[in-house]
């Protein structure tokens, strides 16, 4: 069995963009599970992702107000096809991240996070896969806006891919 995953973070709507790029909505339609690692900014995107996703897992970020914090957890944990996922918006500075995440998420196999807008894909000494999809709407100092896709096949995370979005017109 194959499960298709879409990883998003730091959409900052409508502050940094008015809408998600169409390419991202196409990925939402194909995904079995959509992860959003916080900094939604306003509830309408949460509403739309809930209605258009087969399954949505989200957390709040530091730029998310009370409306979003009432609806979303700070940390989400889910098991999909035997793989333990955790998600949080912020993990702190890049230096020491692997050690901190091993300590803070000892039972997870994969940790999805956001905040920095910097794509990230590493494995900690204890085998925890750390994934940050960057941002599909606010590249900050990165060369591109980005998101990630992955697949779960027979209990194994595979095909983690960072997608670069074309510049906005």
Token duo for residue 91 = 């993990």
Q: Which two tokens stand for residue 167?
A: 């510049």
pTM score, whole prediction: 0.96
Q: How far is 165 from 80, CA to CA, in rounded Å?
A: 27
Phi, psi of 85 (to 5 degrees): -105, 140
Instruction: Tell me the pLDDT band of 169, cut-offs 50, 70 and 90.
Output: low
132-168 pLDDT tens trace: 999 999 998 899 999 999 999 999 999 999 999 998 7
Output 140 or 33, whichever has higher pLDDT. Answer: 33
List the 146-153 sheet strands across, edge first.
56-58, 33-36, 2-8, 146-153, 156-164
Is residue 29 pLDDT above 90, yes or no?
yes
Query: According to the model, what pLDDT value does residue 16 have?
Result: 82
Give dist(CA 68, CA 125) in Å, integer: 34
Indicate the domain borders of the chain: 2-164
Pairwise CA distance, residues 161 & 18, whole Å: 25
- Per DSSP, helices labelled H in the chain are 22-30, 43-52, 66-71, 97-104
Which residue has tokens 């009370």? Answer: 66
Please, what CATH class does the domain formed by 2-164 belong to? alpha beta
Peptide bond preceding 72 in cis form (omega within 30 of 0): no
Dist CA 77 CA 32 (whole Å): 17
Tell me the mean pLDDT in the region 71-91: 98
């Amino acid at each position: 069995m194959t499960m298709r995953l879409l990883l998003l973070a730091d959409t900052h709507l409508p502050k940094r963009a008015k809408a998600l790029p169409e390419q991202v909505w196409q990925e939402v339609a194909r995904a079995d599970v959509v992860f959003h690692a916080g900094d939604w900014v306003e509830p309408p995107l949460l509403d739309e992702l809930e209605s258009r996703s087969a399954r949505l897992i989200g957390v709040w970020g530091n730029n998310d107000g009370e409306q979003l914090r009432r609806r979303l957890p700070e940390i989400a944990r889910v098991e999909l096809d035997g793989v333990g996922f955790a998600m949080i918006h912020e993990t702190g500075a890049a230096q020491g991240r692997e050690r901190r995440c091993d300590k803070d998420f000892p039972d997870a196999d994969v940790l999805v996070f956001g905040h920095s807008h910097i794509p990230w894909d590493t494995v900690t000494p204890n085998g925890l896969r750390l994934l940050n999809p960057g941002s599909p709407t606010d590249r900050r100092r990165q060369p591109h806006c980005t998101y990630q896709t992955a697949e779960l096949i027979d209990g194994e995370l595979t095909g983690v891919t960072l997608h670069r979005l074309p510049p906005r017109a």
